[in-house]
Chain A
Amino acid sequence: MSPSVPLQEMIRAIRSARTQCEERGVIQRECAAIRAQFRQADNGGRSHNLAKLLYVHMLGYPAHFGQMECVRMIASPRYSEKRVGYLGAMMLLDEKQDASLLITNSIKNDLSNSNQYIQSLALCTLACMGSAEMCRDLAPEIDRLLRASNSYIKKKAALCAVHIVRKVHDLGELFTKAARSLLTEKNHGVVHGAVVLITELCERNSETLERFRKTVPDLVQIMKGLVISGYSPDHDVAGISDPFLQVRILRLLRILGRNNEGASDAMNDLLAQVATNTDSTKTVGNAVLYETVLTVLDIKSESGLRVLAVNILGRFLLNNDRNIRYIAMTSLQKIVGTDHNAVQRHRGTIVDCLKDQDASVKRRALDLSLALVSASNIRSMMKELLSFLSSCPPELRSQTASGIFNAAERYAPSQRWHIDTILHVLTTAGGDVRDETVPNLIQLITNTSELHCYTVHKLYRALLSDISQQPLVQVACWCIGEYGDLLLRGECQETEPVQVTEDDVLDVLETVLQSHMSFPSTRGFALTATMKLSTRITENVDRIRSIVSIYGSCIDVELQQRAVEYNALFKKYDHMSLFCSAAICIWMHLNNVQSAGLSPPLCGVSQVCDLLDLLGGSEQPLQPSPALGSTAPPMPVSTANTVGGDLLDLLGGLEPTPITLLFKRLMHSPWLNTDLKLMQPSTLSVFSVVATVTVYEKDGVTVTLSCEKQSDSGLTVTLTASNSTESDIRGFTLQAAVPKSVQLHMKAPSGDSLPARGAAKVTQMVVLNNPNKVA
């Protein structure tokens, strides 16, 4: 060992510095000395100086002034200087520095040096930091070394070639032949290098991959040799012969066997042998088994072999070593789509891993558990997932919540269970759910009419105990506003009855309004709910008025606007019967999936349109929703000029429910512009104007709506659709939904395809009955 006393002295000096300031002082002095030395002519201590500089660099101090010195040292005839020079090059010069090009020539010379250790330095440096240019320059040299040198150099040249191919893909061609021949060598290092090179070549170029498929038998032979052979002291690691080489060969076999029956067949036996005979007590054995499993699962293997592989993963899951469990779950995740049943067998163990201490393991277990949820195990899985949610690390909460929602949506055994589950999530992790959860839940509740009573009771109780979880509070407020009458009625089939007075309800809403924890949007929900209750409760309307008027001077502009508008309503109309819930909510789902000739982007016609767009027509741009059947995204607030002066934007913009939005639009619609109409107690009278309104016009499809009042409580609506595009639209259906106080009867449509160019129209009659004359 060469003494590097100056270096070690300096290191000692730096380490003995007691403060950061002192250390900086020492380093500055040293750097000054080094710089001076660099400028001097060749002296004996050059390598020491550079080494000192490299140490300083590792501590984080600037060392760019050493770059040229590296270049000089590399060119030195002395090995000690070359060695440190090349080390410096690898540390200080990367391909982005201009100085790196200067060493290309030195490297070239050193590659042909008679001393293999000097050659080795050059190869190492090129493989570490060689830029694309340098690689192009020196590739022929490397190829030469691949063919004619000793094994020490060959193995390094092979890995150097790997780097070259990564940098300049086209040069792969150059090395193909040499790589092939290297496989036959005896030296493990060379074979290893060759396998890595071939792997790289095959990954980059599919033609090369085809050519190298012929090597599968050779590779199988080499592996067999390693697996069966006796103890080889040189390469043995805990009883496994050269595990590094084994793993690389298995990986190459994976690439060669993928999507190819012939190659996969040829390696079947070998894989089975490795899988069964490898000792799995130590990490190294498991490393080989792991690679084997990955290969088996990726190629076209026999089913027996696949089962063997999945069983190995199952065994891994039970291993005491956490690393092995983690690996197992990562691998199972990859195959849960294709070998679902096999993975299901290990569901119990996977779910147990949810309780592991390690966050990485937990995350894996969560991913896998969510993938394993199915209709048959939904209840038990959900129990586990919900208990996981209450104790999981914060960074996993939102993922867990969305996973639970998705699973619940797909496999909910009953509506009530679904609602219960969502409520549970909102109570436990309300802060981490996505924004669309609130409208989604509202829609779900709306659609489950038989559970309105149960839901509103449950939400009311939840609200009583905790008003900090915003999504929950928002949904609860909306529910109370919508179904407050059910709450006040007191009895409910599904839960124990509880006496709720109007004051109680208003108390709760007021608490939400006043709480500092409530977001502005939540307050908006609460205020609107309070307003809505004025139509449902009888005794405390005054209290509602006073609550609302307080917010007329609220700092939050949105709330203030609402409060002022509600106040005005109070003054003008005693019946708040206009208000919500009486309207017809027609959702047009245009199912256009089969329409020929419409290019995919235009299939935006297949969007869920809220009625507000239908009535508003071109006033606001339609927001395309990403998937068919999803709820309408919240529409922007319409503050468009309302025809008729003091028509009010009654409902603000934040409640995206179809009913409320419809109302907003009805108010703005040009053919409803007289106050007179608004005075009518029955909202249905709003439609007593027999006019045909174009409610939807986009992408060539036009839908018009005309109403005819039949009786005091009945109304016939005729919907007509026509198509002015160049192609037919098939599978066209209209769907409608109404609040439960209104009866809906849809007559059969005249047809379900819209011929092109308006050749014919599709009409459909809808009869509405409002026997209770609910407003």
Chain B
Amino acid sequence: MQFMLLFSRQGKLRLQKWYVPLSDKEKKKITRELVQTVLARKPKMCSFLEWRDLKIVYKRYASLYFCCAIEDQDNELITLEIIHRYVELLDKYFGSVCELDIIFNFEKAYFILDEFLLGGEAQETSKKNVLKAIEQADLLQEVRYTPNHSHVWQI
């Protein structure tokens, strides 16, 4: 996978994960164009499209579009499954996930993605294992937070 984008129906970016080195300017350009292209598609259309020299696989879940760019040799159908697996993970983690969860806890969404995909490939094929790892990492991170910012406890 070269990159994954999550964006709303209004075209607002909610998550972007890039696995190829590109400048900020290029990333913005690609994002803008791709978002436009995907949003222009009608509901019943194919989930795959050819864009520049990449294959784009996208799927809409409620108000969010999940869009992945894969290479020529990659399997489009299994990419749809990867997207679905990610949504399931988010769902399990946040409990019936919605767009707001991803907006207000975007760093968590990234952490979950990074536990599921590594370098653009799936690293763990068991849902249970991914969730367990996140749980453990969260525990590690737990910070006791006091109002005046002066005390920080780490467990």
Contact = CB atoms under 8 A, between A and B. Distances in A.
A290 B77 contact: yes
A152 B103 CA distance: 29
A95 B21 contact: yes
B110 interface: yes
Given A96-B21, A117-B137, A162-B119, A54 B75 contact: no
Interface stretch (A234-242, A455-463, A683-691): A234-242
Interface in B129-155: 129, 133, 136-138, 140-143, 145, 149-152, 154
A265 B63 CA distance: 49
A490 to B, nearest CB: 53
B53 interface: no
B141 A8 contact: no
A115 B140 contact: yes
Interface string A287-325: 100110010000000000000000000000000001110
Interface in A10-31: 11-12, 15
A357 B45 contact: yes
B21 A117 contact: no
Interface stretch (A244-252, A256-264, A445-453): A244-252
15 contacts: A8-B104, A44-B143, A54-B107, A87-B107, A115-B140, A129-B21, A155-B124, A162-B119, A234-B128, A237-B85, A286-B77, A287-B80, A287-B81, A323-B46, A323-B47
Given A283-B80, A290-B77, A327-B77, A322 B46 contact: yes
A359 to B, nearest CB: 8
Contacts of B42: 357
A360 B119 contact: no
- Please provide the 7 A-B residue pairs with the shortest distance between their CB atoms, ordered closest to farther: A287-B77, A127-B119, A44-B152, A159-B118, A287-B78, A163-B119, A234-B126
Given A117-B136, A117-B137, A234-B127, 20 more contacts: A7-B107, A8-B104, A44-B152, A58-B14, A59-B13, A78-B154, A79-B141, A80-B141, A87-B111, A128-B118, A160-B119, A196-B121, A244-B78, A245-B125, A251-B73, A283-B80, A284-B78, A291-B78, A358-B45, A359-B45
Nearest to A189: B124
Nearest to A64: B24
B22, B125, B152: residue with the most chain A Cβ atoms closer than 10 Å: B125
A605 interface: no
Contacts of B122: 192, 244
B125 to A, nearest CB: 5
Interface in B15-47: 15-16, 18-19, 21-23, 28, 42, 44-47
A243 B111 CA distance: 24
A504 to B, nearest CB: 48
A627 interface: no
A279 interface: no
Contacts of B108: 1
A456 to B, nearest CB: 44
B82 interface: yes
Nearest to A86: B114
A172 interface: no
A327 B124 CA distance: 26
Contact of A156 (B118, B138, B152): B118
Nearest to B15: A58
A3 interface: yes
B81 A243 contact: yes
A120 B114 CA distance: 9
Nearest to B31: A60
Contacts of A570: none
A138 interface: no
Contacts of A324: 77
Nearest to B114: A124
Given A128-B119, A360-B49, A243 B22 contact: no
A251 B44 contact: no
A579 interface: no
Q: Which one of A117, A242, A283, A294 has the greatest number of beta carbons of chain B within 10 Å?
A: A117
A667 to B, nearest CB: 52
A432 B64 CA distance: 38
Interface string A120-154: 10011001110100000000000000000000100
Contact of B23 (A58, A96, A235, A283): A96
B9 to A, nearest CB: 16
A481 interface: no
A388 interface: no
A275 B108 CA distance: 39
A391 B40 CA distance: 20
Given A84-B107, A188-B126, A251-B73, A323 B48 contact: yes
Given A5-B145, A124-B114, A192 B136 contact: no
Contacts of A120: 133, 137
A44 B119 contact: no
Given A58-B13, A115-B140, A235-B125, A43 B149 contact: yes
Contact of B142 (A2, A84, A156, A189): A2
A533 to B, nearest CB: 50
B13 to A, nearest CB: 6
B38 to A, nearest CB: 12
A1 B55 CA distance: 37
A159 B119 contact: yes
A182 interface: no
A51 B111 CA distance: 12
Contacts of B103: 11, 15
Interface string A39-80: 000011101000100110011100000000000000000111
A124 B125 contact: no
Interface in B76-101: 76-78, 80-82, 85
Contacts of A245: 125
Given A80-B141, A251-B73, A124 B104 contact: no
Contacts of A361: 46
A360 B37 CA distance: 13
A5 B105 CA distance: 11
A390 B79 CA distance: 35
A128 B121 CA distance: 10
Contact of A323 (B76, B125, B145): B76
Contacts of A11: 103-104
A117 B136 CA distance: 8
